[in-house]
Each structure stands twice: as structure tokens, then as C-alpha cells.
Amino acid sequence: MRFLHCADIHLDSPLRGLERYEGAPVEEVRGATRRAFENLVQFALREKVDFVVIAGDLYDGDWPDFNTGLFFAKGMAQLGESGIAVYVVRGNHDAASKLSRALRLPANVHLLAARAPQTIVNDALGLAVHGQSFATAAVTDDLAAGYPQALRGHFNLGLLHTSMTGREGHEPYAPTTEQVLRAKGYDYWALGHVHAREIVAREPWVVYPGNLQGRNIRERGAKGCELVTVEDGVISTESIALDVLRWNECALDVSELADLDALLDQAQAAVRAHLVAADGRILGLRVRLHGTGSLHRELAARPERVVEQLRAVALDASAGNVWLEKVAIAVRPAQDLARLGQGGDVVALLAQELATLGSAEPLLDIAREVLKDVRLKLPREVIDDEGLDLEDPAVLLELLREAESEILARLAGEADGDAR
Amino acid sequence: MKFAQLHLKAFGPFRDRVLDLPIDAGRDLHLIYGPNEAGKSSTLRAVNHFLFGMPARTADAFLHDYGELRVGATLSLGSGERLSVMRRKGNKNTLFAFDAASGAEITSSPLAENTLADILGGLDEQLYRTLFGLDLEGLHKGSEELLRGEGEVGRSLFQAAAGLASLRSLMDGLDKQAADTFKARAQNLPLNRALQDFELQRRALKERTVRSSAWESSEGEYQRALARHAALRERLSAARATQQRLERLRINLPLLAERTQVETALAALADVPALPGDARERRIAAEERMRGAEQARRAAHATGERLAGEMAALVVREALLARAADVEQMFHALAAYRAARAALPDSERRTDELGTRVTRLLAELGAPEALDHAARLLPSATLRAALQSLLDEDARLGERDMHLASQRDEQRLTQSRLEARLAQLPAPAPLALLEQLLARMANVTELETRRQVLAREFGEREARLRDELAMLWPGSLPELLALTVPLPVTANGFETDFGVLAQHEHALAQQAASLERDLSECVRELEGWAASGEVVTQAEVSSARTARDAQWADLRRDWHEAPAQPPSARLAEQFEAAMREADRLADLLHADTARATRVAATRKRVLDMESERARHAERRATLLAERATLETRWRALTAPLRRAELSPAALRDWLVLHGQLLARHAELDKLRHNEREAAEEFARARQAMDDALAECALPPVAADEHLAEALERVRGAVSAARQTNAERVAIGEQIETQRGELARLAAQHAQFTQLRATWQARWHEAMAQLRLGANAMAAEVKVRLEQFARLAADLDEMERLASETRVQRVAVADFEQRVAALADAVEDAGSRHALDALAERLYAELGAAREAQARRQRLTGEIAAACRARDEAETTAQDARQRLAELLALAGCATPAELPALEDQAQLGRELAARLADLDTQLLRHNARAVTAVASEAEGHGLDQVTTQIDEVAMAIDALESEIEAAQEAVFTAKQTLDTIDGGASAAEAQQATRSLGARIASEARTYARLRLAHAVLARVVQTYRARHQGPLLARAAEIFRRITLGSFADLAVDWVEDSQVLQGERRDHSRVPITGMSQGTRDQLFLALRLAAIEQHIASRGPFPVIVDDLLVQFDDARALATLDVLAELATHTQVLFFTHHQHLLGLAEAAPIARAMNIQVL
């Protein structure tokens, strides 16, 4: 018996943080979550699996476009034409979604009940699927505790949308423990909700497959589903990559680099290496520059130009297959600020200002005031998506650090008004 | 930290040059003088490169290679210890210790890269220069900025403290960039545009989003349309069913009527016997067959008789037929027999000829033995094969021998050619030297370009300066430079004075004009009144009365003096006239008192105005005197400028131009100096290049040769050297290859010789077997083999002929014997002499016998057939009679003559029944049910009524079809609407586009925030710095300013101008001079004073670091230069000051002054 276990499809969820620029592979990543979902369907058909389980979160909760639901239903119908059954539980996003209420799913899709745990038995396969959908967006009870005991003589599969004992970056929904799961006597627990792949346990198997397609830089690495094989009672599982765009971060240490050309050379090599690892996919790459070195001044004084040049390098090295998501410049100046700050001269004063940033409440007040005009104009989505809350001290602190790096660079004669 | 020694080990023009900088409290001002070409600029760069590392590209490697560049120093650290450090060029491990006494490098002990950075308190090159560097350019720019910022205190202090040329442009730059990114109310700035795009995209997203409710509504609409369509279809099919039923009735009604008629006719024929339908045909056929059978029987009988007659006449030879096979065999063997008989003599003759030939061949082979043994002499097949193999091998060996010989010759020839070419090639060129030379020449070319650029720039600027000078000054430049020019403040004072004077004059003129206008007005008024009649004033009345009283007094005096005499009539008349006049005037006055009062007032005003006019005249005279004095002073001031016509305002402009001219002149000086340095550097590099050319045995660069041409020449030489060396190596390799090849050929030859010997042995052996000599030639062997071949062929032919003769003889005898036997057997009585003719004849007779036999067989068959025909005719007649009898029985009649009438009736009955069945079938087919059911359905219906109903139903169907069409359209429309919701990704794509725009907004907003915050933080630091340091820094700067300006300025003051506090100079008389009122020189000195005060502060807070001064005092006059040196000497009591200059004049000045005691002078 073979089946696919996937979760957190989040169909039509947008890719975040990808600012368009000349040469960015816009067409190549269009509809990435849809294409990843299509990859799932095609893989199931090609491998002729016996069934598919989806452990919740088919759509984004607040996404209202009915077309998304129709697209999902079409994919399911394709599986149905080949006799592949699909077992689904609703996750927190689906419970919040209006789509999932109005949509009629094909007959091969078995949506497990939300009122109480439900068991669907497939005698032809000797399979018993146990599960319970989310009735509301925020379920904080241990749903698994209410699941029935294993059905003797069957392969028992538990379908559950849960955060287990808690996972960073994920709401603590339907919390449960390994002990609870183990006590049910099931063979395989197909979990969803956490977007990173994780094999929680092997006896019995408790698996998070991760989501189908990474949607931002936090969801890095290969994404896809689990191909589970059960032979003579022995279970094995294999991760299948289905993603269209692969997110990754490329950290470059500038400490030993003599100049910008050296940085660009290193970036080019790194881009090529990441491309190979992405196995022919489009790469959503964040370049993080770190370290302490003489290059800091140039980076601080002309960040936009550095970004442009890195984009050009990425474009060139990848034949247009890399989308540079962001260039995060976390390079520290070569100077020792603490030592520079000793004294009463101008440089010392500036260094002292830098040193007091963390606790400089008046400076934060000034920053709030200075940025008031732009703050009032920023759309809510941008503030949430891009983490750009200009009231947030952490954000202001980060911006102040960038600003002061720029001042140090300019005081020493770099970039006199030609930074753009 | 201070420098104790500077080791210019290999840098720029220096090699192993040591500068001692003795550390001596109070004497740490080091004047480092380098005349042109001595390398002052190189030394300055060496200090920087030592402290902060050598850049990747440097112009100081024209004498030394990059790898050799070294600058070292012995440093005196704050703790009193000394550290000797050498810096090399490189990316890592650039610092190592060295022995200061011997200068030997200790490369085995590299120092940590941050050794010097730590000593410098974390400052890098730029920040160090910012804090501790002073040069002319920085001074000018700072001074210009002071002027532009009009001395705003906070900025001026910060700028001087940070050694910044322009804080203003830095802050403005930040502000402008931020404003170029975003403004709250702008439209076209990047962030504003992104925000607008975002909003548009958000709207597009909303439009493209299909909500569940929209889908449900569309789907409901579609389902309803479908249901309505289905209902209408159902009604239509019901109507169509009715239509069909009526149509069916219309067809059934006539059929049913006919059916009833047929049934009635059938009932009338119920008693007629049921003869079969073919009864008539059967009867006629039976009668016809009876007649035919009788005729046939008669014909068959006649034929049988005729054939029996023919049979009796026929004769057949049975004996010949019995031996037919033998007769045919003999006939066919006849040709072979005749041929064998004819060929036999020829075969015998040829056998004899062959015997003779073989005997002759055997004799040739030297074996005249009997013919019987000849076959044994023939060589075996293996011998022949071996011989062929030996022959082939001989050919191969011969060919190979020739090939080897030709290869050897060819290789030897090639080798000698290669050796000749090698001998012709020029000696190996010093490629490494040439390449170094090329690198050096590239450097020199760069230097030449730089020199040319500088020379061109110098020329251009000098020409511009001359033009400007011509506009400004009629004399020469040195005169202008020596000229003492008035201060702008003086010009301003004059301008004010002239202005005040002009104002006074103007005011006076205006007052005078106004007075004149009033005066003439009053006079005109008085004249007007005078013209309109006499006007008497109180004064005139008084005056008339006074005249009257005087007359009266005269009269009385006259009367008193002579009382007796009557009054003089003249007096009395005069008195009376005066009295009358007074009375008249008094009367007139009383009559027009108002006019009189006004005239009096006007006259009074006229008098006042006249006295005012007199005062004006006095004031004008005073002003004229003042102007004369002022102009005298002005001319005295402007006379040295040779521009007597200059106004004070023009003078101010002139002074600005003069200041600029001086600045340009200073720049030009610096440029000249740079140009000379570049020229010297170029000359040195060129000399080094010539040396290198000589070393490479190349002619030096000719005087008329361009450097680029020389460079090309050297490039050519490098290229030629590379090619020669490459060719030499290639030829050497080829010669080696040739040698190897020759050795290989020799080995092959030895192997070949051995093969040849083996072959020879085998050849000898074969020759013996062929009865040939051991050294027989290959041709002989071939001839011998051909002889053997011929012998073999002849022997074979003899054998074949013998066998053939034998066969022929046997065949002739056998044939003759068999023919004779055959003739006996068939009882042939003919002659036996010509047996072949006998065989031919027997064959002919056999043919005739066979024909007779065939004829007999044919006749037998025909007789049997005639008998069978007769029998068949009889049987047929019998059968026909039988059939007629059956028909009569069926019809129940006795004779065949009664049959036709009965047959007609039976036929009618059958046709009626068939029609009835046909009608039933039609009804059944039309209605698909039993005829009875059809009849009962039709019952009660008439054809006319049914036709009317059909028309009605047709109309109803038409109406329904129209409705269905409309319903179909509605279904189609609803489906189309529903189909637009197809699971497409349009909304999702709009959402993605929105997010991408969000990312753009974030990126732009971050840029904007960074710039705005940088501006805010900088402003805050400026303010903080000012708040903390303004007092002490200004006090110290004022002191330095006073000293540098030789007391021309006593202090610095801060004053409010509009909303900002500005710096001003204060003179001894406490008058204040704003920055804008200072000459450029004074402004430079003010900025220097601020810088020096700030540097003292930096030293105080960071500890002593060398202050590096680059030719700062070029434009100071001697006194101020000395005063500045004095301030620097004072600074040198706290730290080390390295003062670089290439002005000997300054050196002389310093040496002659008392300050020399506090100074170390180094000459490069």
C-alpha cells in the first residue's frame, strides 16, 4: 500500500517579499502554490498511489476567491478519475474560510466531520482513517485525545491538524503530546499545521510533511509531501519535493573581502551553488551580508547600488532563474565603536550615540516623529507582511542602526549625496 | 603615539632613507621640507600607507616592484616603550618587526594586522584624517562653507571639529534624497508612486475576486433555467404524442374501412376447394413434360442404331500397343545413338594427340618416365600454397625494406633541417626582464598622461587667471599680490557714508523743491488776491496808521515849534491824506476781515519760506564740503588699486574677485607644484625605464620618439621574445622526437633482417621439391608451376576422353540390340539392316494404332449415352402423368378439362386473403399493436374531425418550440456566466502583484526612513556637540584667531541673526565683523583657528597622535605664517606635529624666527 501525506497547501497564497525588478523571473513563479498543487496531483497519478491524505489548511483563511476552491476541486476530481480516494481534515485556516463551506467536493474526497472524531474504513485496502476537522479557526482542545482506539486488522491512520506541544511561529492549536498519540495504537499519524518537515516519532510514525510551497523567506528549503509505503507491515516514508520556487538564504562574510568586486565574485559563486541545490527550480534568494570589514563603509553608503549590482550578478549567474528577495546588510563597521566612543570629539560623540541606541528613548521619539508622515501612508498589509511597523521600537532601532552606519560612512567622505 | 623614526625602505623615489624625528618635549613640531623632486608628497603618502596599509594600486611603485614596497617606522608609545614596525604591500600579514638600528627586517615575526589600528584607537584612514589632518584644500573648502552657512554656530563648530568640508551639503544631500523618495503630498516620487500603484492593484484585486455568494447565485440561476427548460420539453413531447396519435388515426381510418370490405368478399368464396396458388402452372407444366418425353425417347433410339454400325467397322493393332513404351524409348534414344556412332572416331584421335603432348611435357620436367606415373610428379596443394605464401612474403618484405629505407632518409633530412633552424634562431631573450620593463613602461605612460593632464590643466587655469587679472588689474600679477587692498568692511563703511550723504543730499533737494513749490504757490495766491481787488491787511492798516501818526507827530511838532503860525498846508494835506488812507484801509479791513487775515498769513508763510530757503543753502554748502572730504578719502583709498572710478559697491565686488583671484592663484601654485612633481616623477621613472631598456639590450627612448611608440616597441620586443623562446622550445622538442623516431626505425630494420633469413631457408626447401636450383628466381618458380599446371590439365583431359569413348561404344551396341528384339516382339516383318530407320517406322505405326483405339472408346461411350436418354424420357412421361392425377384429386373432378374454372375461383379467394393480411400488416406496422386495439381506438372517430384536431395540435407545438428556444437561450446565458467562474488564477495573480508592490513600498520606505533618520541623528549630534563644547571651543578658537590675525581681531562673538546664532569676529574696538564681511584670508584663518581648537580637544580626549599638516601656509603673509607656526609649536607641546612643505621661503622664515628653537627641520 502506498499513499501521499500532505498538508498546508494554502492554495493561491501569495509569495511575500518579492519586489519586482527588471529581469526578475515573474512569469516563471506565477501561480506557484497552484503549480505545486498540480505537481502533487500529477505525482499521485504517476505513482498510482492508493490514496492521499491532507492534514488541513487547503486555503488561506481570509482568502475569498471562489476560483481557488474550484481549482482545488478540479485537482481532486482528477484523482477521482483514477480511483484515488482523498481523506481531508479542515485546519484552522479552512475553518475560517468561506470557500470551504460553499464548495462541493467530488465523491472521492472524504471530509472528516468537525462535531466529533470520525472513522472511515476502506475494507478493500484494509484501511481505517481517523480524524476530526477544525470546527472553528482557533481550536485549543486536544482533539487527538477524543480519537477512537485503533481498529483491529486494519492499517490505522490518524489525520490531525495540530501544533503538538508547540512549534515556533505557529499558533498553539489542537495541542497534544506524543503519549496521547501513541496511546491510540495507530500505525501512522499524518499531521499538519507546521510548515517545516519533521518526523516527530517513528514508533508509531508521527510526521509533519511541511507545506507544499514555501511562501516567504522563513519557509526555506525543499517543500512537498511524504510518499508513505507500507509493505508487510513495515512503514517507510520518503520526502517528495513539489515546490516551484525554492527559498533560501545565502550568507556572505565580508570580513576578508578587499572590495565590492570581490563581494560580487563571491556572490556569483554562492548563487551558482544554491541553484544547483535547488535542482532546476527558480530560487527565491535572500543575500545576507555579515562580518566586520572595510567593505562596511561602501555598503552603508550605497546600499541601493549594492543591491542593484547583486541583482545583476544573480541574473547573470543564473540566467534569470534567481529572484533576489532581499539583501540584508548586517555588516558591522571595521572600527571598534566602543573605542571610538572614548573621548569628546565628534566621532566619539557619534559613537556614543550609536552605543546608547538600545535605551535612547528620546531618539526613538524623534524617530517616530520624523517618520510620522510615511507611517500614516503605509498600508496595513505592508506593515504586517514586511515587518515594517514604524511604531515598533525594534524596527526603529534597526533603521537607526542603518542610518548611523550611513552617517559614519559619509562623515569619512563616502557617498556625498550620490547614494541613489 | 609619536613617530621617532620614519624608514622609507623602498617607496616612491626612496630606497633605505631614514628620517629621524627626535622626540623632545616642546620641540615636537617637525618641519619636513622637500623641494621639488625631493619626494615630499611621497613621504606624506608613505606616512599614511604605513599607518593604514597600502592600497591595491599605487603610483609609488615606479622604481620598486609592488612586492618590494616597504615603509617602516619606530613609534614612541604613550607608555614610553618603542615599537619598530615595517609595512609591506599585501592583503594579509603586512606588518612585521624590524631592527631599527640596522634596518634589518624580521620577517619571521609578523605582527597582528590590527597592531597599528589598536594604537590609533580604532580610527581608520579617513577618520584619522578627519580628526588630525590639516591641508590647504580642506581649509579653503571649510572657509567657503563658513561663508555659505553665514557662520551658523552649531554647524561651524561641528564642521571644524569633524574636519568636514561641508556639513551643510551632507545634510542637504540626506534631506534631498529623502525628499526625492517620498513626500506626503507628492505624486511622482518613487514611494508615492508605489503607494498609488498598491491602491490601484488592491482595487483590481477586489474586482477580480469572486466570492462564494456570487458563485452560488450564478449556479442557482443556471439550475432554475435548466428546470424551466426541462418542463417545457416535457410539455412539447406530450403535444407531439397527441399529434402522432391523431396522425395515426388519420392513416388507420381508411385502412380499417377497406378491411371490412375484404372480409365480406372472402365470406362469399367459402365453398371453393382450396387449390394451391400454382395449380394452373403445375397442370400446364405436367402436360408439357408428357409431350417432350415422347419426342426424346424416339430420337435416342435412332442414334443407338447408327453408332453400333460404326463400331463394327473399326481395326486396332493390340501387339504394338502392348510394347508402346519400348517403341517410344527406342525412338527417343535414336538421336543419342546416331551422335555416339558419329563421335567415336574423333574421340579416339584426340586421345592419341594428348598422349603425345604429355610425353613431351614430362621430358621438359626432366622425368621422361612412363605416362602412368606422371600424376605422382605433380606438386601437392600444400606445396603450392606454401610457395604462394613465400612469394607474397617476398613481395611484402621487399616493399617494407624500401619503406624503411625511405623513412630513415626522410627523418634524417627533417632532423638536419630542424638543427639548421635552431642554429639560425637568435639567442634566448631575457623575457622576464622585458616583461618587468613593459609593466614599468605602462606605469611611466600613466605618469606621462598624468603629467600632460596636469600641464594642460595648469595652462588652462593660468590663461583663465590672466584673463581674470586683465579684467581686475591693469598691472602685473606680482604687483597685485603685493598690493594691500582695503578690507571689505572699509568699502562697506564708505558705501554707508556715501549712502548717508546721498540720502541727506537727496532729502535736502526734496525739501528745497517742496519749499520752492510752496513758495511759488503762496506768491501765486497773493497775486490772485491782488488781482481780485485790493486786500487790506491788519499790518497795512497798522502801517497806514503808523504813517498817519507820523504825519500827525510831524504836524504836532510843527505846531508846537511854531504855535502861532498856521500849520503847514503840505503837512496838513499829508496828514489828512494819511488819515484818509488809514481810515480807508481800516474801513476796507473791516469790510473784508477774512480775506485780509488769509493774505496776512500767506505773506507770513512766504517770509518763513524764504528764511528756510536760506537755511537750505547753508546745509547744501555743508553737504558739499562733506562730499568733497569723503571723495578725497575715497580717492586716497582706491588710488593704489588704479581704479579711481570704482564705487564702494564696485570695490566690494572687486574685492570678492580679488579674493577669488588669490584663491585661484594659490590653487595654480599648488597645481604648478603638482605638475612639477609629476614631471619629476616622470623623469625619474623614465630614467629608470631607459636603464631597464639598456638592460634588455633595447635602444633607449629617442628624443623624438613618443612614449606610446616606445611602449609599442617594447611590446613588440616582448612578443618577439616570447615567440622566439616558444619556437626554440618547440624545435628542441621536435628534434628529440626525430631522434626517437630514428632509433625506432633502426630497431625495425634489425627485425626485418631476421625475417628475411627465415624466408630464405624456407625458399631453399621449396625449390628442391620443385626440382629447381636453390636460388631459383621467383619467375622460374612461376614457369615451373605453370608447367605442372599444364601437365595436370592434360592428364585430366586424357582421363576424361578415355571415359567418354567407353560410354559411346556401349551406347551404340545397346541400342542396336534392343531395336532388333523389339521388332521380333511386334512381329514386324521388315528389314533389320537399317536399325535406326526401323525404330522410326515402328514409332509411326504406334501412332496409328493409338488413334484407332481412341476412336473405339469414343463410340462405346456414345452408344451408352443414347440408351440412357431413352430411359430418362420414359421416366419423365410417367412423372407428368402422376402429377396431373394429383391435381384432379385436389380439385375433386374427373377430367383435366374441368380444372381451369376451379383454378380461377381459388385464385380470387387467395388474393382477397392476401389483401386482408396486407391491411393487417400495415395497421400493425403503423400502430405496433393488435388490430383489434387499433380498431377500438378508431371507433367513434371521423376523418374530418381528426384532421381538424391535427391542425390545432401543430399550432400548439409551434408555440412550445418558441418558448423552448428562449429557455435554451436562458440556460446558455446562465451557463456562460457560471463558466466565467472557472477556477482561474486572475484574483490570485492580482493578490501576488499586490504583495510584490508591498515589497517595493517596504524597500522604498526603508530607504526613506534611513535617510530621514540619518538627517535627524546628525542634527542631534550637531546640537549635542555644540551644547557641550561651544564655550571652551570658541574661547580657545578666539585666542588662536587673535594670534593668527596678529591681533587684528580680538575675539569671537556669537550673535543672533533672525532665528539662528552666528559667529562674528570682534575687533579691538569691539566692532563686529560678520563672516560675510571677512576677506577670504581671514575666513581661512578663522576656520584654521576652529580646527586647531578642535584638534587640541581631540588630543586631550584621545591622547597624543601625530597631527599631519600639508603645506598649509602658502597663502599666509609672513607675519601670519609665523604666528600660525607659533600656534602649531604650542600644539606640539601636547603632541607631535608633522608639517610638510615644499616652500623654501617658509623654511627660511621659520629658521630666522625665534620659533626655530621649538622646531625640528628635516630636509628631504
Q: Give the pLDDT confidence of B410-430 residue by residue, as tens digits.
A: 888 888 888 888 888 777 777
Residue with cell 475576486: B209
Contact (CB<8Å) B995/A334? no
First vs last C-alpha separation in chain A:
60
Q: What is each CA distance from B194 to A284, A303, A419, B988, B1004, in whole angstroms?
A: 22, 20, 20, 20, 8
A290 close contact with B: CB closer than 8 A: no
Per the model's pLDDT, the better-predicted residue between B66 and A19 turns out to be A19
Q: Which residue of B has its CA nearest to A410?
A: B170
Contact (CB<8Å) B988/A12? yes
Contact (CB<8Å) B1011/A403? yes
Would you state the torsion angle of the CA atoms of residues B846, B847, B852, B858, taken in this order, to the nearest 10 degrees?
A: 130
A29: DSSP letter: G
Sheet strands (E) in A9-106: 51-54, 85-88
Q: What is the pLDDT of residue B830?
A: 66
Residue with cell 615599537: B83
Contact (CB, 8 A) for B89 and B58: yes
Contact (CB<8Å) A67/B988? yes
Question: pLDDT tens across B466-484, in order?
Answer: 888 888 888 888 888 888 8
Question: pLDDT tens across B233-250, in order?
Answer: 999 999 999 998 898 888
A51 in helix, strand or coil? strand
Report the amino acid identity of residue B697: A
Report the alpha-carbon distance of residue B651 to residue B488 in Å, rounded: 8
Percent of chain A with pLDDT over 90: 65
Residue with cell 621640507: B33
In this predicted structure, the answer to whether residue A419 has a pLDDT above a threshold of 50 is no
Percent of chain B with pLDDT over 90: 13
Report the alpha-carbon distance of residue B1077 to residue B493 in Å, rounded: 11
Residue with cell 509531501: A225
Helix B488-531 to helix B648-695 angle (10° resolution) is 150
Report the alpha-carbon distance of residue B10 to residue B72 in Å, rounded: 9
Question: pLDDT tens across B556-570, in order?
Answer: 887 777 766 766 778
Q: What is each CA distance from B881 to A154, B273, B287, B448, B839, in whole angstroms?
A: 94, 22, 8, 150, 65
In this predicted structure, the answer to whether residue B377 has a pLDDT above a threshold of 80 is no
pLDDT band, residue A334 (cuts 50/70/90): low
For domain A2-241, which CATH number applies: 3.40.50.2300, 3.30.200.20, 3.60.21.10, 1.10.3720.10? 3.60.21.10
pLDDT band, residue B309 (cuts 50/70/90): confident
Report the alpha-carbon distance of residue B470 to residue A61 in Å, rounded: 83
Question: pLDDT tens across B144-172, in order?
Answer: 888 887 777 877 888 787 777 677 788 88
B184 close contact with A: CB closer than 8 A: yes
Cross-chain CB nearest to A31 (options B127, B985, B1029): B985
Contact (CB, 8 A) for B995 and A382: no
Q: Summarize the confidence of residues B663-676 as an average pLDDT.
A: 86
Contact (CB<8Å) B1021/A349? yes
Per the model's pLDDT, the better-predicted residue between B37 and A102 turns out to be A102
A197 close contact with B: CB closer than 8 A: no
In this predicted structure, the answer to whether residue B706 has a pLDDT above a threshold of 60 is yes
Report the alpha-carbon distance of residue B131 to residue B1100 in Å, rounded: 12
Report the alpha-carbon distance of residue B150 to residue B144 in Å, rounded: 10
Helix B212-268 to helix B931-938 angle (10° resolution) is 100
From A309-313, B138-142, B618-622, B1048-1052, the region with the lowest mean pLDDT: B138-142
Question: pLDDT tens across B45-78, in order?
Answer: 898 899 888 887 777 877 788 788 899 999 888 7
A332 close contact with B: CB closer than 8 A: no
How many other β-carbons are positioned within 10 Å of the β-carbon of residue B131? 25
A260 close contact with B: CB closer than 8 A: no
Query: Whole-prediction pTM value?
Result: 0.55
Question: Which chain B residues have a beta carbon less than 8 Å from that of A103?
Answer: 212
Contact (CB, 8 A) for A245 and A214: yes
B985: DSSP letter: S
Question: Which chain A residues have a beta carbon less than 8 Å from that of B1017?
Answer: 353, 363, 400, 403-404, 407
Q: Which residues contact B931 (CB under 8 A, 6 or more apart)?
A: B259, B920, B923, B924
From B151-155, B220-224, B612-616, the region with the lowest mean pLDDT: B151-155
In this predicted structure, the answer to whether residue A414 has a pLDDT above a threshold of 60 is no
- Could you tell me the three cell numbers for A414? 563616502
Long-range contacts of B91-97 (CB under 8 A, 24+ apart): B91/A258, B94/B53, B94/B54
Contact (CB<8Å) A334/B124? yes
Helix A66-81 to helix B212-268 angle (10° resolution) is 50
Q: Summarize the confidence of residues B929-953 as an average pLDDT.
A: 88
Contact (CB<8Å) B1017/A403? yes
In this predicted structure, the answer to whether residue B1082 has a pLDDT above a threshold of 50 is yes
Question: pLDDT tens across B806-833, in order?
Answer: 888 888 888 888 888 888 887 676 666 7
- Region of residue B16 (left: phi > 0; alpha: psi -120 to 50; beta: else): left
Contact (CB<8Å) B1097/A102? no
Question: Which chain B residues have a beta carbon less than 8 Å from that of A336?
Answer: 122
B137 close contact with A: CB closer than 8 A: no
Percent of chain B with pLDDT over 70: 98
Q: What angle do CA B855, B859, B864 make, to 5 degrees?
A: 150
Kindly report the nearest CA distance between residue A391 and chain B, in angstroms: 12
Half-sphere exposure of A399 (CA within 13 A, CB side): 33
Q: What is the CA radius of gyration of chain A?
A: 26
From A407-411, B331-335, B1024-1028, B1104-1108, the region with the lowest mean pLDDT: A407-411
Report the alpha-carbon distance of residue B1158 to residue B1134 in Å, rounded: 13
Q: Residues of B numbered 51-70 whose beta carbons fall under 8 angstroms of chain A's beta carbons: which are they?
A: 56
Per the model's pLDDT, the better-predicted residue between A72 and B587 turns out to be A72
B984: DSSP letter: -
- Which H or E run contains B83? strand B82-88
In this predicted structure, the answer to whether residue B659 has a pLDDT above a threshold of 50 is yes
Contact (CB, 8 A) for B345 and B813: no
- Could you tell me the three cell numbers for B290? 408428357
Contact (CB<8Å) A379/B202? yes
A345 close contact with B: CB closer than 8 A: yes
Half-sphere exposure of B59 (CA within 13 A, CB side): 19
Question: pLDDT tens across B191-218, in order?
Answer: 999 999 999 999 999 999 999 889 999 9
Q: Which residues contact A373 (CB under 8 A, 6 or more apart)?
A: B182, B184
Neighbour-count burial for B558-567, b at 16+ CB within 10 Å, e otherwise: bbeeeeeeeb
Peptide bond just before B900 cis, omega within 30 deg: no
Report the alpha-carbon distance of residue A310 to residue A299 in Å, rounded: 12
In this predicted structure, the answer to whether residue A420 has a pLDDT above a threshold of 60 is no
First vs last C-alpha separation in chain B:
23
Report the amino acid identity of residue B849: A
Kindly report the nearest CA distance between residue B33 and chain A, in angstroms: 28
In this predicted structure, the answer to whether residue A195 has a pLDDT above a threshold of 90 is yes
Neighbour-count burial for B274-286, b at 16+ CB within 10 Å, e otherwise: ebeeebbebbeeb
Cross-chain CB nearest to B1014 (options A20, A30, A406): A406
A280 close contact with B: CB closer than 8 A: no
Question: pLDDT tens across A58-116, in order?
Answer: 999 888 899 999 999 999 999 999 999 999 999 999 988 888 778 889 999 999 999 99
Q: What angle do CA B892, B893, B897 make, to 5 degrees?
A: 145
Q: Residues of A numbered 14-33 whose beta carbons fall under 8 angstroms of chain B's beta carbons: which are they?
A: 14-20, 30-31, 33
B76 in helix, strand or coil? strand
Long-range contacts of B909-915 (CB under 8 A, 24+ apart): B909/B266, B909/B269, B909/B272, B909/B274, B910/B277, B912/B262, B912/B265, B912/B266, B912/B269, B913/B266, B915/B258, B915/B262
Report the alpha-carbon distance of residue A391 to residue A377 in Å, rounded: 13
Q: Summarize the confidence of residues B851-867 as an average pLDDT.
A: 85
Dihedral sign, CA of B48, B52, B55, B61? positive
Pairing of strands B2-11, B14-20: antiparallel
Q: What is each CA distance from A188 to A141, B519, B841, B1131, in whole angstroms?
A: 21, 124, 113, 83
Q: Summarize the confidence of residues B291-302 as an average pLDDT.
A: 81
Contact (CB<8Å) A403/B1005? no
A341 in helix, strand or coil? coil
B1067 close contact with A: CB closer than 8 A: no
Question: pLDDT tens across B422-462, in order?
Answer: 888 777 777 777 777 777 777 777 788 888 888 888 888 88
DSSP B1070-1093: S-EEEGGGS-HHHHHHHHHHHHHH
Question: Which chain A residues have a beta carbon less than 8 Å from that of B1012?
Answer: 370-371, 374
In this predicted structure, the answer to whether residue B101 has a pLDDT above a threshold of 90 is no
Q: Which residue of A has its CA nearest to B217?
A: A102
Q: Summarize the confidence of residues B1081-1098 as an average pLDDT.
A: 89
Report the amino acid identity of residue A349: L
The pLDDT mean for chain B works out to 85
Report the alpha-carbon distance of residue B1114 to residue B670 in Å, rounded: 9
Probe site for chain B from A345, A350, A372, A386 (most B CB atoms < 10 A)? A345
Q: What is the pLDDT of residue B536?
A: 75
Q: Summarize the confidence of residues B393-406 as an average pLDDT.
A: 88
Report the alpha-carbon distance of residue B542 to residue B549 in Å, rounded: 10
Q: What is each CA distance from B483 to A154, A391, B666, B670, in whole angstroms?
A: 113, 64, 16, 21
Report the alpha-carbon distance of residue A130 to residue A149 in Å, rounded: 9
Report the alpha-carbon distance of residue A250 to residue A317 in Å, rounded: 14
The pLDDT mean for chain A works out to 89
Residue (of B535, B487, B385, B499) closest to B1077 by Cα position: B487
A46 close contact with B: CB closer than 8 A: no
pLDDT band, residue B26 (cuts 50/70/90): low
Report the alpha-carbon distance of residue B521 to residue B523 in Å, rounded: 5
Report the amino acid identity of residue B827: E
Q: Summarize the confidence of residues B496-505 as an average pLDDT.
A: 88
Q: What residue ranges do the domains of chain A occupy?
A: 2-241, 246-334, 339-420
